[in-house]
Amino acid sequence: MALHDWALIVFTVLAQMSVGSFIVLGVVHFFAARKAGMEQADRLSDRALLAIVPVLALAFGASLLHLGNPLNAYRAVTNIGTSWLSREILFGVSFAVVATLFALLQWRKIGPFIFRTIIAWIASILGLILVFSMAKVYMLPSQPSWNTLATPITFFVTTFLLGVMAMGIAFVANYAYIHKKKDDCIDAQCSLLRDSLRGISIAAVILLGIELVVLPVYIVVLATGSTAAVASLKMMAGEYLVLFILRVTLGFLGAGVLALFLYQNASSVGREKFIGYLAYPAFFAVLAAEVIGRFIFYATHVGIGL
């Protein structure tokens, strides 16, 4: 696989993770604020929010590597009318700008809460449209292994799965950071951490479940599809079988086994440190699974025709 294909893997996975993280963070913040008040909620999520910005930057940096002619990149939004790639770039840039803006506002607490909330909503909607556009980019009639509902579904699953897992470690890291500094309000953050990680664990398992439902259906769709679709499937079941099994195993391990452990450990007080030990491997297992999954996605596409 050439460099420009790796660029695409990095871009799509990281961009989706950013969108997922942003939205998950919003949801967690909402519940955290209801439970422990705005201040505690902000303490839980503000650093995590700022962490999204460099990830976004990395994603878009990678996307430029994919172009043969990066200096002309600005032209990439000149065909919004028909090109989903143009739309992807438009919504990608929009999401990045608005999300970054929100992060800055939220960090510095600039503007009234309601204003920031509206910005957050706009960013979230842009993010969701971005993920949808990303899926549409690949839903080409000439690419049967991409042109199925599985593409948007798995893109959204990736978005939220990486979003929850990334936020999981963000919270764990945040907690460790706060814990080191001062002791006074550990209990509030501590319970928020446990609550959010429980929620994250449940979400991960549900998302994994969706993935495990989509996968066999996808295989059946390919198997009964055109010659090109069958050729893609043969590649997955052939030269990429080991990777494919690795991807499923890692996903199952991260979003299944480790997530359940996480849930279990997040349910009882005093195991916060141990949660950290679980959250990191769970995240990296899922990240690896998604990267491998995306690699297979690109590697096994076989176009119709020539």
Partner 1 sequence: MANQMAFYFNASVCNGCKACEIACKSKNNLPVGRNWRKVYQYGGGEWVPDPLDPAFQKPNLYAYAVSVACMHCEKPLCLEACPAAAITKQENGIVLIDADLCIGCRYCQWACPYGAPQFDEETATMTKCNMCVDEVAEGKKPYCVDACVMRALEFGELEELRQKYGDVDAIEPLPPSNITHPSLVVTPHRHSQPSGKGTGRILDFEEV
Q: Does 267 bind partner 1 (CB under 8 A)?
A: no
By three-state DSSP, how is residue 21 classified?
A: helix
**Shortest distance in whole angstroms from residue 84 CB to partner 1:** 8
**Shortest distance in whole angstroms from residue 193 CB to partner 1:** 42
- Looking at 26, 152, 281, 303, which residue binds partner 1 (CB under 8 A)? 303
Backbone phi and psi for residue 144, each to the nearest 5 degrees, phi listed first: -60, -30
Helix 241-251, helix 227-237: angle, nearest 10: 70
- Looking at 112, 141, 216, 270, which residue binds partner 1 (CB under 8 A)? 141
Task: Name the residue nearer to partner 1 (CB basis): 28 or 76.
Answer: 76
Judged by CB under 8 A, the chain residues 224 through 263 that form the site for partner 1 are: 226-227
Cα–Cα distance for residue pair 27/33, rounded to 1 Å: 10
Judged by CB under 8 A, the chain residues 52 through 81 that form the site for partner 1 are: 66-70, 72-73, 75-79
| Alpha-helix residue ranges (DSSP H) falling in the chain | 3-36, 38-65, 84-108, 113-138, 150-181, 186-223, 227-237, 241-251, 259-266, 272-299
Judged by CB under 8 A, the chain residues 79 through 108 that form the site for partner 1 are: 79, 82-86, 89
- Looking at 96, 99, 134, 137, which residue binds partner 1 (CB under 8 A)? 137
Judged by CB under 8 A, the chain residues 189 through 228 that form the site for partner 1 are: 226-227
Backbone phi and psi for residue 156, each to the nearest 5 degrees, phi listed first: -70, -40
**Shortest distance in whole angstroms from residue 153 CB to partner 1:** 20
Q: Does 3 bind partner 1 (CB under 8 A)?
A: no
> 162 vs 98, 106, 179, 202, 255, CA distance in Å?
20, 22, 25, 14, 10
Q: Does 148 bind partner 1 (CB under 8 A)?
A: no
Task: Name the residue nearer to partner 1 (CB basis): 68 or 112.
Answer: 68
Site for partner 1, rule CB under 8 A: 4, 66-70, 72-73, 75-79, 82-86, 89, 137, 140-143, 226-227, 301, 303-306
